[in-house]
Chains A and B, each alone.
Chain A
Amino acid sequence: MTAAQDEKDFIQVRELSKLFHSADSEEHILSDLNFTAQRGEIITVLGVSGTGKSTLLNMLGGIDRPTAGSVVIGGKDVTRLDDAGLTAFRRDTIGFVFQFYNLIPSLTAQENVLSALEAQRRLTRQDEAEAQQALNSVGLSAKADKFPEQLSGGEQQRVAIARAIIKHPPLILADEPTGNLDPQTGEQVMKVLVEHARRTAATLLIVSHNPAFCAISDRSLSLADGRLTPRDT
């Protein structure tokens, strides 16, 4: 595959299935799911609770493995990677934003942001400046030394965004990024995320049950009964 093709079909999901086994039954969360996404595209996946939105995101991000099918991102088949390969893939390719922020409580805002870089390399003074810059971009330059418990929910989510964007990943995965925030704060947070994606040409995939995201997305998809379908905007 050429570089141009990589850009065009940056994400290629083919026949993706996920089956959950319980003691006496099997449940198809995702069935033969197919879709592609271009580099720099902003996509919202909508669906009600329990439809497998987070599962899809987890498989795209190398957090979970599919039962069948393949996920190729930037020309790399994620489903064929071993644990170490997946770790490297997440480290170098993905920026995660979670509904519950998932900040490390014993690290300050700046240190939480830097943790994404430290996973990649030995930190330098330049990295610290970058972390400060990332916090500036989310409007938290004054709170770099605060611990998560000293920040509001919206501020914590902005730190999480700064952590996701500092390494300029080609793909940002956001799982209900405003699910825990009030509408006004949610709007601010999304603005930051979208602006960054546009500026860096990162692909942004948002999963949510909130249709309001469709307005800021290039494309919206619906996930229901294990299948992904385009949604009219």
Chain B
Amino acid sequence: MLAMNLIWRRAGRQIWAIRYRLLAIALIAASAFAIYSGIYSAMNSLFASRDHYYQEGNMADLELRFVPDDLANIPSLAGLPGIRSVEHRLLSPASLTLNDGKRLAGTLIGLDLAQPLQINRLTLLEGKALDPARPDEVIIDRNLARYHGLQVGDTLDMALGNDNYHLRVRGIARSPEFLLASANPNFFLPSKGSMGIIYGSLELIASRLGFPLVNSLLFDLRQGPDAAPVLGQRIADALGKRLNIEEILPLKRQFSYLFMQTDLNAFAIFVPAVIIIFSLAAITITFFLLLQWIMGQRQEIGLLKAIGYGKQRLVLAYSFPLLVITAVAIIAGFGLSFLVLMEFGHSYSEAVGFPKPLLQLEGAKLLLGLLGMVLGLALAAFWPQRRLLGMSPQDAVRPARGGSSGQLGVARAVARWVGGRILLKYPLRSLLRNKGVTLMTVLAITMAMGVSLSYFIATTSFKDSIVSRFADDRWDLSVEFLTPLWNDELQQMLTPIGGIQKRDPYVRGGIRIAHAGQQKSSLLGSLNPDTNLRHIDLLQGSLPTAQRDGIVLERKLAASLGAQVGDPLQIESQGHHFDTVLLGIFSGALPGESYTSLRQARRWLDYDTQLNGVFLQVAGNPQALAQQLRELPRVAQVTRKDLLAEQVVKVSEEALTIIYISAAFSIAVTLLFLFASATFTVLQRKSEYVVLRILGFCETSINLMILLEILGVGLLASLLAVPSGYVIAHFLVGRLSDAWFSVTTSMSTTDVAIIIAPVLVLLPLSAWPVMRLVQRASLPKTLRERMFG
């Protein structure tokens, strides 16, 4: 027992000597654990927070949107099976003018205060609830207050159709419906504060029209949101003759739900790669450290074996550093997991304008992360422990060999081929001598750099694909109107405005598409085959032309309908049925879109020669023209393409933060790998460097040899990292395309430079400590160690 204690005591002392290295390894291992448990917990917490807010406000399981109608014409649906309750409301695009004169696109949600208002219930954050007696007092959404500085008591003007309203803010509220606010319903992008949501009484409009107008029904279903697709269809069928149904919107197709689901799932694609980097770092560095430590103790282990210590006792004692690393990593891992959870959860919420998330670490994720980390560390310790078991008592007396010349074996022929000065020959041949370690180091670094590089390539591909998508669009401004305009009204409106080169009027509206027994809602847009200002990223088939009309569907919509190019489809819109043919399938960010020619879209949506928006190609600065257009009556929103592209880049850059952090870490890991392997291999051959010093090689020459050895590994790994990164990126991009829209892999020199350049610049840093160790090595002492091949 005493002898056992002696070994442990000795191991303890040695561990104290390498405590900082052990701490660094423990922190790397803890980071892998924390990224896994922290990010996955954060993602699940965000989904859970979304569900919490849905529950808090009793988010509608289903919404039915239809052409505005008199409330008196809405049939009662309360008796339909599967429906717990139903509420009606008005959703209307509006143009808001704030006190400082700023114009803003808005949506008025007119609520019938005579009904209980239990669905999409508002949570009042400030001020008072709506008062039926004060229809000009409204409640504003939290994002309108937050991003435009509106407070209770402030006033604002609202243009709705041809009417103007002067309103006073009575309260500020949060709605489950607007957990994220979209910049523009046409573009699948959250944009904080770009759309002002106002809740008012139906009376506000009824007082001018003389009757209450509604266009949306909210349903609370007995079987929850999963029943929405089937029930929605049944309800639409039942109401079809009474109302002109535009869109059936189950909860899972609602913007906040869909965007978070798609965005976080797309982000989740990157997470395993981040975890791989951290795990790889922890495993490799632990491996090097333990191997180096055990090899350094070789004679002592041999001696202990010679005097009768059993393998089991020795393995246990020499596992001490691993136990210390594991213990520290577990403690640090829990702390770091919490930090990652908080940082990721809050950053994401802030980036997309989500309310305060309810974040908590998940036990299952913590346990799995912990198990993964312990297994990884055990894996790292496996080979060094095997070496320990393989040592014999003879090792106590056999002189150690610094990277045995026997290892040269197969590499001998290659080694001979490496010519030139010894200054070059020695480091390169040394790499060949330690080919196992060299290969492992090169692979580990290639992997670390390759994975980092792949993030950047994937992100660049994602950004480039979006930007090129916008670049292919030839419009500069998109103008939406509060109410549909006739062609001649548009003409009249735009004629006095200079600088417009081309215009492409469009209509948009909800339709239902049926194929082979399946029926789905779709947001239909129009295309103008003559002007083609709007670009469609066609994957199969062709676009509608003047000669051949039909419809093109977004790929996920086509898949859900089981429709192929050339299939006949049935369209249901405004109470009418139309037959058409599927001309093509396209990739789009907004799921469920469809396009047809302007002529056909007008027919299906019953727009005659009306339009509800126009794409404009302008000659000069779109900013000034956008401002001019916003001032026009009946203009609800003007979207600038250049700002939209910027917005996309901004949103994706917020997600890039973690990628940058991972990349910085990968670079650090690369340098650590180099340092660890250099320490291992160079110090194993310290005596050879000492001989070179004795022979008279100066300090600079010795340093150069060490640097060349490390540079050799770094350069080879950097070269291999580029194709590896591209291959990994291609895989990630494929997954991104599945999750979002069609993304093309594209690699820029910046992507490569951002990873490779810092590594090459910082390479000498990882060589520096080894150089110092070799230079400071005592010549007589090293000679006494007799570590020569």
Contacts and interface: CB of A to CB of B under 8 A. Distances in A.
A58 interface: yes
Interface stretch (A37-45, A84-92, A187-195, A197-205): A84-92
B546 interface: no
B688 A120 contact: no
A81 interface: no
Contact of B692 (A64, A104, A111, A122): A104
A118 B421 contact: yes
Contacts of A96: 694-695
B696 A106 contact: no
A116 B694 CA distance: 10
A106 B697 contact: no
Nearest to B693: A87
B422 interface: yes
A58 B699 contact: no
B422 A115 contact: yes
B779 A115 contact: no
Contact of A105 (B779, B786, B789): B789
Interface in A53-88: 54-55, 58, 61, 63-64, 83-84, 87-88
A55 B781 CA distance: 10
A123 interface: yes
Contact of A100 (B408, B697, B788): B788
Nearest to B432: A106
A158 B422 CA distance: 20
Given A105-B403, A106-B405, A147 B426 contact: no
Contacts of A149: 405-406, 408, 789
A98 B406 contact: no
A87 B669 CA distance: 36
Contacts of B405: 105-106, 147-149
Contact of A115 (B403, B406, B433, B695): B695
B696 A101 contact: no
B412 interface: yes
Q: Which of B408, B701, B783 has the most CB of A within 10 A?
A: B783
Interface in A127-157: 145, 147-149
A102 interface: yes
Given A101-B788, A107-B425, A149-B408, A58 B698 contact: no
Interface string B510-543: 0000000000000000000000000000000000
B425 A111 contact: yes
A100 B692 CA distance: 15
A119 interface: yes
A114 interface: yes
Contact of B696 (A55, A87, A147): A87
A103 interface: yes
B788 A102 contact: yes
Contacts of B433: 105-106
Contact of A55 (B408, B430, B780): B780
Given A100-B786, A106-B432, A118 B422 contact: yes
Given A102-B788, A147-B405, A90 B694 contact: yes
A59 to B, nearest CB: 9
A198 B180 CA distance: 94
A108 interface: yes
B423 interface: yes
Interface of B: 399, 403-406, 408, 412, 415-416, 421-423, 425-426, 429-430, 432-433, 687-688, 691-699, 701, 779-780, 783-784, 786, 788-789
**A-B interface, 10 closest residue pairs, ranked by CB to CB distance from nearest:** A91-B696, A105-B789, A105-B405, A106-B429, A119-B696, A149-B405, A63-B779, A64-B780, A119-B697, A58-B780
25 contacts: A54-B783, A58-B779, A61-B694, A63-B783, A64-B779, A84-B698, A87-B699, A88-B696, A90-B696, A91-B697, A96-B695, A98-B783, A100-B399, A105-B688, A105-B789, A111-B422, A115-B697, A116-B696, A118-B423, A119-B701, A122-B421, A145-B416, A147-B412, A148-B405, A149-B405
